Every structure is written in C-alpha cells, then in structure tokens.
A = this chain, B = another copy of it.
Amino acid sequence: MNRVAKSFNQGDEVKFLYFIIDGSVKTLRSSIEGDEATIRMLKAGDTFMDAVIFMGGTSPIRATALKPSKLLMIPAPVIRQQVLRDGQLGENLLHIVTWHYKNAMQQIDSIVTKTPVERLGYYFLKLHMDQNPESLDIELPFQKSMIANHLGMKPETFSRALKKLREMGIEVDHERISLRDAYTLCHFCDPDTAYTCPKQGTPDCNPGDCR
C-alpha cells in the first residue's frame, strides 16, 4: 500500500505511520502567524509520525514531500494493536520516540545557550559524520535558506554566520564546505563533548573523535 503524497496537515488527527520508500520529506511545525520551523529532513528508509500516533488528539506537526515520493502508510490502529501483542515492537518504538525526545532537548539548549555561529558549526560537524567521516569535505544537502530555518535563524543571519566561520578557516564554495580547521570548530561548537575529548586542543583532534 503506497501512495504519492503531497502534504499532511497540522491539527488533523493522524491516521497513519509513514515509511518512506522513495523520495524525501520534511516534518515541520507551523504557527498561526505563518512561521514555519523545520523539525527533520527525511529520506528513503526513514519513518515519520511514529511518535504522533501515540500522543492522542490532533497532530502537533505537519509534513510535506520535498519531491514526489513513495510512502508506505501503515494505519495507526494496526500499529497500536500490534504493540499490545508484540512487546518487542513497543520497545523499538520507545527507542525511536525517546531518541526524538532527546533531540528535542538538545535543540532546546542549543537555541538557548549557543550562538547562531555555534549552531551552524555544530550542524556542519553532524553533516560530516553523516556524509563521510573520512573526508573533511561536506556538501549542503538543502538550500541555505531552508537550513537556516531548520537551525532557527533567518537567512541573513545564516549568511553572516557562514562568513564568521570562513574567517575561522573553514573554506566555503557555494554548497561545498571544507572543514580544514576542523578541530577548532569541534571545540568551538560543542564545549560539552570537547571537555571529554582526549585530544582537546591538539591538531590531532578530528570531528568524530568527540561524538
């Protein structure tokens, strides 16, 4: 059972758990004023609305396909029934949902305690880990204004933050970023992990050693 889907509305009751067979989707929150904040950017193999179907009531989040996508839609009652029968499924879902929760908490204190520059640098480190931990070159997977929104800042602020990182020795060429001076970035953006990094302050410290 799969469909080409375009958009799901916030406020609606969520009737399905979605699995992305092909394409890409983003989940987001939007307020009455029209502001939108991207929560996650998803690709084939990811699920979404997994937490929402256990919240009860209407959905606090919305999703839109970034391009025509194939989704497997599993009816929520089926999942809920199956959790009752299969404890293992319940545990797996608990892992997924607690992971979302942990991410949300990290996002809260990155908003509260970190500057836009630090948030951007930290985002680069995560990209680096996701894309290819061997290479110090990364590629921006979305257009900059969209990433800016995801990081909770305006495009202008994003642009200025990028400039500051460039001054710190990070090479920027359109959507290609080169983390030449990666160890500085690592400790600059994530003092918590830097604190426990054995190579702290040395040129041997590569991003990825920390997380």
Contacts and interface: CB of A to CB of B under 8 A. Distances in A.
Interface of A: 29, 31-33, 35, 37, 39, 51-52, 54-56, 60-61, 80, 83-91, 93-95, 97-102, 104-109, 111-113, 152, 191-192, 195
A201 to B, nearest CB: 15
Could you tell me the dominant secondary structure of chain A's interface residues? helix
Nearest to A106: B60
Contacts of A84: 87-88, 91
A88 B85 CA distance: 8
B113 A111 contact: no
Specify which of A32, A51, A90 lies most central, judged by the most chain B CB atoms within 10 Å of its CB.
Answer: A90
A101 B101 CA distance: 5
A41 to B, nearest CB: 16
A196 B128 CA distance: 44
A125 B52 CA distance: 25
A100 B54 CA distance: 12
A97 B97 contact: yes
13 contacts: A29-B105, A32-B195, A33-B191, A54-B91, A54-B98, A55-B98, A60-B105, A60-B106, A90-B91, A97-B97, A100-B101, A104-B104, A112-B152
